[in-house]
Structure 1
């Protein structure tokens, strides 16, 4: 009997895998049979060992450091089948006018260069059937107040994903990205984010924010051979937040004296 969504005998790299969504992805991949390498800026040897994973400390914004990480993986395991470009940073909640250039550069270095570096150094070692999944955001396909630097970097990730899908498709390598709304991780609970979380809970038809396990499930799907014709896509995971105004949100707007006042 066929085993669906298996990652048995697959070598997968998960950047930013030491915590949050990345750790949840690494855990799920291990359970699915993959050989997982957690690549993180922080030393996560203990976390990796507890999962039965390998680990490598690396700054994803540094191309040479990323090349060293990939060389280590190929030398130790012989191949790279799956790359999850998950490492990311957030520069806080600020209006566009109040966002200093340093915030844009910080988000660009990690969120954008981290993805391009990962693809550039890993793709040459992938054979036909390789899979790359980049972590974007709902803020990468819509506008979002007070998230200028983060949102701009995630829009770039979506664009990079589409370009990479076109360029690598001829080699049988699929590239997709995931665009979640707020996910219940420490990053979502940064100071100043309370109103955004409250707004998402009201605006989402499901009445809550996303859990990391739900994002990991989509990453898992895209990382398997079972969806071999999904390529170049930016897949939104937002509980229906972006499709329209639900009744609960309509009533909340009415109470506040908004456009749906009854």
Structure 2
């Protein structure tokens, strides 16, 4: 790979690294020279071996599981330079007034506390500084009807990101977040299938949803030493979705 954004000698821990955005980030970083530690609930030993990485079974909603992940990564690799908090879920499609506490708990335990645990237990092994990238969502910068548990859990990630950036900056640890819109991942297809994806295509000004590799490219960008002065930022990877209503959506409304 080009010397720009080279990760030779770096150790990257990626939660949610067994599929979708996380897997794309793992593969890209491995190609850039990093030793990649992939964490997830489902077995991904073969994938990890194929890219020259390591798999550690992890449940990010369990603090002890994340603590173990970071300790194993440090024991096997001697340090941690990069953390990508990518594990995420979306449960509870309902109005806010009809939402259940269990759905808020489920989303927050993974989407929010998983990020907190990742930051908390990785930093002790980042004595040389490094980069933490939190995968939030375009839903974390605006409201989305019927998704209050998910939306609020992703808004919280942005607050955690900025707070961590302020607190860890003196240790030369940068903390940033990305906010992708809909991405063509197994999770997205399981949630809404083709009809939902077609609808989301119309909502994005570029006329399509993102590929995992396109989001992984921004994660790589933020993780690399080339971006050593980027800290506490939120970067949209949304095809213009949060800029406003797409022409397709506008024309559809105008035609009614």
What TM-score do you get using the length of structure 2 for normalisation?
A: 0.95
Aligned position for 2:159: 159
Question: Could you tell me which residue of structure 2 aligns to residue 187 of structure 1?
Answer: 187
**Structure 1 residue aligned with 2:98:** 98
The aligned residue for residue 259 of structure 1 is none
Question: Aligned-pair distance for 1:92?
Answer: 4.4
Change (3 A) 1:124 1:91: same
More displaced 10-residue stretch of structure 1: 233-242 or 183-192: 183-192
CA–CA separation in structure 2 for the residues paired with 1:97 and 1:198: 28
Number of aligned residue pairs: 255
Specify every segment of 5 or more residues in structure 2 that has no aligned partner in the other structure, as ranges.
none
> 1:47 & 1:40 partners in 2: Cα distance?
12
Q: Which residue of 1 aligns with 2:14?
A: 14
Deviation at 1:59, TM superposition (A): 1.2
When normalised by structure 1's length, the TM-score is 0.93
**Contact between 1:92 and 1:190, CA under 8 Å: does it hold in 2?**
no
Matched, 1:65 2:41: no
Alignment partner, residue 121 of structure 1: 121
User: 2:210, 2:149 → 1: CA distance?
Assistant: 22
- The answer to whether residue 107 in structure 2 is matched with residue 110 in structure 1 is no
Cα RMSD for the two superposed structures = 1.5
State the match for 1:33 in structure 2: 33
Match of 2:85 in 1: 85
Distance 2:218 2:192 in 1: 28
Matched residue, 2:48 = 48
Would you say the 8 A contact 1:18–1:40 is kept in 2?
A: yes
Runs of 4+ in 1 over 6 A off after TM superposition: none
User: What is the alpha-carbon distance in structure 2 between the residues aligned to residue 91 and residue 6 of structure 1?
Assistant: 37
What is the CA deviation profile of residues 96-144 of structure 1, one whole-angstrom value per residue up to 9, with x for unaligned ones?
2222111100011111111000100001111343100001000111000
* Secondary structure at the counterpart of residue 207 of structure 2: coil
